[in-house]
Amino acid sequence: MDYTNFGKAGVRVSRLALGMGMRGQDDAAEAQRAVEHAIAQGINLIDCANIYGLMDDRANVRMSEAILGKALKGKRNDVLITSKVAQVVGPGENDYGLSRYHIMREAERSLKNIGTDHIDFYLVHVFDQQTPLEETVRALDDLVSSGKVRYVGCCNFAAWQVMKALWTADKMGLDPIRAVQTEFSLLKREPEAELFPVCVDQNLISTPYWVLQAGLFTGRYQQGKEAPADSRFANRPGLAKRFEKDEAYNAVQQVVALAEESGHTPTEVSIAWALSKPSVGSVIIGSSKPEQVKANLAAVDVRLGNEVLGALDAITAVPAVVRTPP
């Protein structure tokens, strides 16, 4: 396993992180084994959130945090964990967002659910237009100062939102965000236009998710053919419908061909391509079974040549930045 610094922080994280979304996984014991296997193989970064659960995604149950806590027994000091806050966790008016009230309440709940006295990386899950950013960054800084959180970061922010968060923390003399989590793949390249350059310039680590697009870039699915019975597409028809597009399958076919030529699997090539981007420190893999973890781990040792990387880049285009005139 390779490791890298967590942005400006001195702490080092594995270049693959295990995501605890566990969507499509309805076996808590197997999910726990996947976490334990990942840790045994050198993955020291586990990405979780207060809304992550098993197949039914029951937000209030928070099954993934509980599973993570069980898997960490006797290993807590060797593993860095992430949790998140902002998404809806109930029907109440204060059951979402980035108010001080919600952040503090959910941080305490996550600590209890995981069974730990601190969260290494606490990320705001989305940008909250309704709450003053000063209130949010102050609450996060207080969690860091109290020792309940080690570092903070953000998810699904636009480049300007990242810069505003950094500026606000700097202006107030508070702990800054150090990580940016975003969706990124050959079908979702918007981060390359502005977000990734901001990460490089500000020395932030980016930890992209959905690099394999829910398993599409494993090469397991073929256009016009029924998905395997045990696959995520078979269990989640709505997800499959999202990718039933010629552009998606054309990209997959080209990745499969390049993988065969280079002697690697489509999974390895897709993850290695993402890891080659300057700002990408760790790719979040959504493995929910030990065998899936094993298949993804091999990508860390893959070094693609410039010719292959160029061919991968040419499969899809980076969307142009559209700016509205003043």
Q: Give catalytic residues, as residue numbers.
A: 52
For 1, the token pair is 């396993």
Residue 67 has phi, psi (to 5 degrees) of: -65, -40
Cα–Cα separations (whole angstroms), residue 169 to 11, 40, 119, 148, 153? 21, 37, 20, 19, 12
Nearest to 83 by CA among 29, 142, 125: 125
Which residues is 124 bridged to in the sheet?
Answer: 85, 154
Beta-strand ranges (E) seen in the chain are 3-5, 12-14, 16-19, 45-47, 80-85, 119-124, 149-155, 177-181, 205-206, 283-285
Which residues is 180 bridged to in the sheet?
Answer: 154, 206
Angle in degrees, CA 64, 241, 251, rounded to 5:
95
Cα–Cα separations (whole angstroms), residue 263 to 100, 228, 254, 312? 51, 25, 14, 15
Cα–Cα separations (whole angstroms), residue 217 to 41, 68, 278? 23, 27, 21
SS3 of 20, please? coil
What is d(CA 163, CA 195) in angstroms, rounded to the nearest whole number?
10
From its phi and psi, is residue 230 left (phi > 0), alpha (psi between -120 and 50) or beta?
alpha
243, 216 contact by CB (below 8 A): yes
Cα–Cα separations (whole angstroms), residue 93 to 62, 89, 97, 98, 264? 19, 10, 9, 12, 50
